[in-house]
Structure 1
Amino acid sequence: MKQPHTHQTHPAIIKRLRRAGGHLSSTIDMLEHGRTCLDVAQQLQAVEKAVQQAKKALIQSHLDHCLEDLVGPLDPARRDSLDEFREITRYL
């Protein structure tokens, strides 16, 4: 049986996703109640932003924990490459 795969960052990621779910529910409600397209578009932007931030946090957490555990100790040159890879993922 496979062990649960959790990191310390998962509760914060779950919080972000719940926030996105709340924004999405609000967006649906806004459409059902005839709110303006501008209001709905702004709410959809909030949904996208919350999901995007959750994705970034998950990827960074994976790099910080799983990838490093997989490759083991690195010499300084490879450590720099891994650190650069981590940094560039912030632009996803």
Structure 2
Amino acid sequence: MTQDLFHPHRHESHPKIISRLKRANGHLAAVARMIEEGKPCLEVAQQLQAVESAVRNAKQALIHDHMDHCLEEGSLSQQRAELKAISRYL
């Protein structure tokens, strides 16, 4: 289940997840500028909530995709161990 540099771990969903994370990264940079510019804390907090939500959604998509596609490999005990390990990040 672990991957190495010679066998990258890729799924069909990864490009969409990368796109989400890049958008969130740009949004986070914009929030930092808002703070530097002295924007009201309420506005900053609202935008930080949006960034947090975007990152959380990307994480959930990655984990759900992993659960759908990767837990079929290995023995039942390996599958359970990996499911337990990854589910703590939900």
What TM-score comes out, normalization by structure 1 length? 0.73
Distance 1:8 1:71 in 2: 24
Out of 43, 47, 52, the residue aligned to residue 43 of structure 1 is 47
- Relative to total residues, which structure has the larger helix share, 1 or 2? 1
Give 3-state SS (helix, strand or coil) of 1:53's partner.
helix
**Percent of aligned pairs sharing the same letter:** 55
Out of 27, 31, 34, the residue aligned to residue 27 of structure 1 is 31
* Cα deviation digits, residues 38-61 of structure 1 (max 9, x gap): 110011001100100000001011
What TM-score comes out, normalization by structure 2 length? 0.75
Out of 16, 23, 46, the residue aligned to residue 20 of structure 2 is 16
Gaps of 5+ in 1: 73-81
Which consecutive segments of 4 or more residues in structure 1 shift more than 2 A? Answer: 69-72
Distance 2:75 2:47 in 1: 41
Gaps of 5+ in 2: none
CA RMSD of aligned residues (A): 2.0
